[in-house]
């Protein structure tokens, strides 16, 4: 239960469990009235990804679905060419955070070492050097044109996200990424304090379940950054719908990958930023939709 519901009292002993959140004492004022309750707060912990004994990345993430997260990150970052290159993984918690150790194929490990060499020019304040800039705009798959959706499918998916966001309902602090069928049914959903993490978890879940990701679309409860577009394209999904706005770099990246990018997808409304021909309503309107 979140602060928005203002429970009169919740005790640690009687409260139901909420995986991915901690029950903490809070005080505040709402509507001019003071309150003191126990409230669920989303967990955020350092998660280190280690490939064949080499530490590669540390992210702050919600400690849920870490197997999906590690697999999805490896796929969307181009380290793994497919789930078959992941031989096994284990997560080891410590007082400092969680280390996820991945055992990957030699080809994937060679790919990782090449990636690390190209990242050598990075600094704490950004990217420097031509190799680092090239890494940001790395080669993406050009997505096929076969997918075609009705506008109502996106509206249906967006309307059903909240009911499946259990951690968001409890904390009000996490993003969700969902894979939806062409009819707008929410088939897979993952949550995390980071929008990129939620999408990586979703991609990992799809890969583990051997789902043909290109047969549906992805809906996210955040803005659409270029990283979100990159990850959707790497997953082979040709339509990304976000509840908020995209950035200009996201639009450019979507155009390069031939991904249909939808923003401000709320109720029956949406804005198509590129490749409107995949959406029936947008194509019939000549692609001229505005928010």
Worst-scoring range by mean pLDDT, 238-247, 255-264, 276-285?
A: 276-285
Domains 45-136 and 151-284 share a fold: no
Q: Where are the domains of the chain?
A: 3-42, 45-136, 151-284
Q: Supply the pLDDT for residue 13.
A: 39
Contacts of 230 (CB under 8 A, 6+ apart): 76, 138, 140, 253, 257
Worst-scoring range by mean pLDDT, 144-148, 163-167, 224-228, 263-267?
A: 144-148
Beta bridge pairs of residue 266: 269
Decide which of 126 and 64 is more confident: 64
Q: Supply the pLDDT for residue 116.
A: 81
Q: Supply the pLDDT for residue 41.
A: 97
**128 has catalytic annotation:** no
CATH number for the region 45-136 comes to: 3.10.20.10
Q: Supply the pLDDT for residue 289.
A: 46
Give percent of the chain with pLDDT exceeding 70.
85
Decide which of 197 and 6 is more confident: 197
Look up residue 287 and give its two tokens.
């692609």
How far is residue 28 CA from its own chain's centroid? 31
Q: What is the mean predicted confidence (pLDDT) over 50-73? A: 97
Decide which of 6 and 270 is more confident: 270
Contact 175, 72 (CB under 8 A): no
Decide which of 146 and 93 is more confident: 93
Decide which of 89 and 9 is more confident: 89
pLDDT-derived band of residue 132, with 50, 70 and 90 as boundaries? low
Question: Is residue 51 over pLDDT 70?
Answer: yes
Give percent of the chain with pLDDT exceeding 90.
80
pLDDT-derived band of residue 3, with 50, 70 and 90 as boundaries? low
Looking at domain 151-284, its CATH class is alpha beta
Q: What is the mean predicted confidence (pLDDT) over 27-50? A: 97
Q: Supply the pLDDT for residue 135.
A: 64
Look up residue 87 and give its two tokens.
């031989």
Residue identified by tokens 């139901």 is 16
- Rounded Cα–Cα distance for residues 167 and 183 (Å): 25
Question: Which among 125, 128, 180, 288 is annotated as catalytic?
Answer: 125
Q: Supply the pLDDT for residue 182.
A: 97
Q: What is the mean predicted confidence (pLDDT) over 194-198? A: 98
pTM of the predicted model over 0.75? yes
Q: Supply the pLDDT for residue 134.
A: 61
Worst-scoring range by mean pLDDT, 35-39, 115-119, 159-163, 179-183?
A: 115-119
Contacts of 28 (CB under 8 A, 6+ apart): 3, 34, 35
Decide which of 130 and 268 is more confident: 268
Q: What is the mean predicted confidence (pLDDT) over 135-142? A: 82
Question: Is residue 127 over pLDDT 50?
Answer: no
Dihedral-angle region of residue 13 (phi above 0 means left; psi in -120 to 50 means alpha; beta otherwise): alpha
pLDDT-derived band of residue 115, with 50, 70 and 90 as boundaries? confident
Q: What is the mean predicted confidence (pLDDT) over 102-129? A: 72
Across the chain, mean pLDDT equals 88
Question: What sign has the CA pseudo-torsion 109, 111, 116, 122?
Answer: negative
């Amino acid at each position: 239960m979140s602060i928005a519901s203002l429970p009169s009292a919740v005790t640690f002993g009687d409260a139901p469990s909420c995986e991915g959140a901690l029950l903490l004492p809070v005080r505040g004022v709402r509507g001019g009235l003071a309150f003191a309750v126990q409230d669920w707060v989303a967990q955020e912990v350092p998660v280190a990804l280690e490939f064949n004994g080499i530490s590669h990345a540390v992210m702050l993430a919600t400690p849920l679905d870490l197997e999906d997260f590690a697999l999805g990150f490896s796929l969307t970052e181009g380290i793994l060419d497919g789930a078959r290159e992941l031989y096994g993984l284990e997560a080891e918690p410590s007082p400092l955070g969680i280390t996820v150790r991945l055992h990957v194929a030699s080809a994937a490990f060679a790919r990782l070492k090449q990636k690390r060499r190209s990242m050598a020019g990075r600094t704490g304040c950004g990217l420097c050097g031509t190799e680092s800039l090239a890494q940001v705009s790395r080669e993406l798959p050009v997505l096929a044109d076969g997918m075609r959706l009705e506008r109502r499918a996106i509206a249906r998916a967006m309307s059903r996200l909240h009911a499946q966001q259990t951690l968001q309902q409890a904390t009000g602090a996490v993003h969700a990424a969902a894979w939806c069928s062409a009819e707008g049914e929410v088939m897979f959903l993952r949550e995390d304090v980071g929008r990129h993490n939620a999408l990586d978890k979703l991609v990992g879940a799809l890969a583990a379940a051997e789902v043909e990701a290109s047969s549906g679309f992805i809906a996210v409860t955040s803005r659409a950054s270029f990283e979100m577009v990159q990850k959707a394209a790497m997953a082979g999904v040709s339509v990304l719908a976000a509840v908020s706005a995209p950035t200009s770099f996201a639009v450019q990246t979507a155009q390069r990958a031939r991904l249909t990018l939808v923003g401000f997808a709320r109720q029956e409304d949406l804005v198509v930023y590129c490749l409107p021909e995949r959406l029936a309503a947008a194509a019939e309107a000549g692609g001229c939709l505005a928010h």
